[in-house]
Amino acid sequence: MDIMLREVLPQFNFKGTLKDCSIFGSGHINTTYLAVYDDNGTERKYVVQMVNTSVFKDMDSLMDNIFSVTSFLRSRIKEEGGDADRETLHFIKTANGEKYYRASNGNCYRAYVFVSDSVSYNSVPNARLFGESGVAFGRFQRRLSDFPAQTLSETIPNFHNTQYRYENEFLPAVSADAAGRAASCREQIDFVTSRRDYCPRLVELIKKGSLPLRVTHNDTKLNNVMFDAGGEKAICVIDLDTVMPGLALYDFGDSIRFGANTAAEDEADTSKVSVDLDYFKAYARGFLSEAGEALNQCEKDNLAFSALLMTFECGMRFLTDYLNGDVYFKTAYPQHNLVRAKNQFALVADMEKHMDEMNSIIASLCG
């Protein structure tokens, strides 16, 4: 067991005696552990996370966001007759009543109840299940539609501002070439710069007032949804660090980026990468069944484009991190970020070819 956990675990109001605590999950940002306790014969499981504070710089605001969003969701779920203990995350305070624990080495830890009898998927097993995740993220957005958005802090400013990502992060990374890698990825750099016109499109529509800001999740990867153990129904949306005012399109597009790719996000053989239009349709149907009524025409018109843009943006972020020397995303090997970027750009190229079909699918679902 990680030595810091010996200090951290006793700080939380967990019930029972510790049986085991081991690393868990496969996110790119935080470090997640599963702690198992024996409470007089009853097994209790808790998720403990060390938050990446170089990514999330204001821990107090981050945790305030999460506590207010989850308590709002709890009351919404109860009003709808749902099971509030399972359908949203349940955070556990420290014995001192704090929302997180700052350890002696400066690292910050938080804890929540493990959603029992649940599974998450790192790849999409079938279209039906992917459609279920669309229902879950659409429902999440609908349930938060009356949340006072102005009370939320921007945990990562400009998170999906693609124009900002391009001008203020990507281009400076190319110029600085801090890791001396630019020469090895000229083709990918050119891929981005030749498509720079994509970057301001949604930002301009926000400025014009055509796209409304809503409370959105902003990190709608499939593994941020917990399913019941049989894999039938989505139970709970997790990973709430980036819940902020954003666009419905960000949530839609980012899910498609991850889940409608015929290959894993870091598959090195890009010939395996393409957009699965059946998966695209299944997700769109699920998402629109919950969030669709609230969407305006401009949002509907840009759903297919948002998938392309979120994929482009994510590829650009992976490439930026590669150029910076792998300082943001966790990597398993030195070329990992470049492999991810190439993969995302292969998906962008395939989406470009199928954009008319993607738009037709949306039009057929919007009626």
Site residues, ligand ADP (CB under 6 A): 24-25, 27, 29-30, 32, 47, 89, 112, 114-115, 118, 120, 223-224, 226, 238-239
- Which of 29, 303, 323, 339 touches ligand GN1 (CB under 6 A)? 29
Q: Binding partner of residue 325 among ligand ADP, Mg ion, ligand GN1, none, CB under 5 to 8 Å per kind? A: none
- How many residues in the shown chain lie near Mg ion by CB under 5 A? 3
Alpha-carbon span 337 to 173, nearest angstrom: 14
Please state whether beta strands 91-92 and 101-102 pair in parallel, antiparallel, or not at all (unpaired). Answer: unpaired
Interface segment toward Mg ion; rule CB under 5 A; list 76-84, 238-246, 263-271, 304-312: 238-246
Nearest by Cα to 71 from 143, 153, 157, 150? 143
Element (H, E) at 286: helix 277-291
Q: Binding partner of residue 47 among Mg ion, ligand GN1, ligand ADP, none, CB under 5 to 8 Å per kind? A: ligand ADP
Alpha-carbon span 345 to 308, nearest angstrom: 10
Q: Binding partner of residue 121 among ligand ADP, Mg ion, ligand GN1, none, CB under 5 to 8 Å per kind? A: none
Q: Binding partner of residue 33 among ligand ADP, Mg ion, ligand GN1, none, CB under 5 to 8 Å per kind? A: none
Nearer to ligand ADP, 55 or 277 (CB): 55
Nearer to ligand GN1, 138 or 315 (CB): 315
CB of 196 to ligand ADP, least distance (A): 29
Nearer to ligand GN1, 242 or 331 (CB): 242
Nearer to ligand ADP, 55 or 349 (CB): 55
- Which of 87, 239, 267, 326 touches ligand GN1 (CB under 6 A)? 239
CB of 32 to ligand ADP, least distance (A): 4
Alpha-carbon span 189 to 191, nearest angstrom: 5
Please state whether beta strands 234-237 and 91-92 pair in parallel, antiparallel, or not at all (unpaired). Answer: unpaired
Nearer to Mg ion, 46 or 198 (CB): 46
Contact 220/206 with Cβ under 8 angstroms? Answer: no
Interface segment toward Mg ion; rule CB under 5 A; list 120-128, 209-217, 221-229, 304-312: 221-229
Nearest by Cα to 291 from 324, 250, 327, 328? 250
CA angle 259, 262, 263 (to 5 degrees): 90
Q: Per rule CB under 6 A, is residue 88 in the interface with ligand GN1?
A: no
Query: How far is the first Cα of the chain from the last one, in angstroms, to the nearest whole number?
Result: 55
3-class DSSP assignment, residue 73:
helix
3-class DSSP assignment, residue 280:
helix
Q: Can you name the residues that pair with 35 across neighbouring β-strands? A: 21, 46
Each residue 46-75 as x (binds ligand GN1 by CB under 6 A) or -, in order, gives ---------x--------------------
Alpha-carbon span 6 to 261, nearest angstrom: 40
Q: Per rule CB under 6 A, is residue 253 in the interface with ligand GN1?
A: no
Contact 162/313 with Cβ under 8 angstroms? Answer: yes
Nearer to ligand ADP, 27 or 292 (CB): 27
Alpha-carbon span 313 to 216, nearest angstrom: 17
Contact 44/16 with Cβ under 8 angstroms? Answer: yes
CB of 161 to ligand ADP, least distance (A): 20
| CB atoms closer than 10 angstroms to residue 44 | 17
Positions in 257-316 near ligand GN1 (CB under 6 A): 265, 314
Interface residues toward ligand GN1, by CB under 6 A: 27-29, 55, 219, 221, 224, 239, 241-242, 265, 314
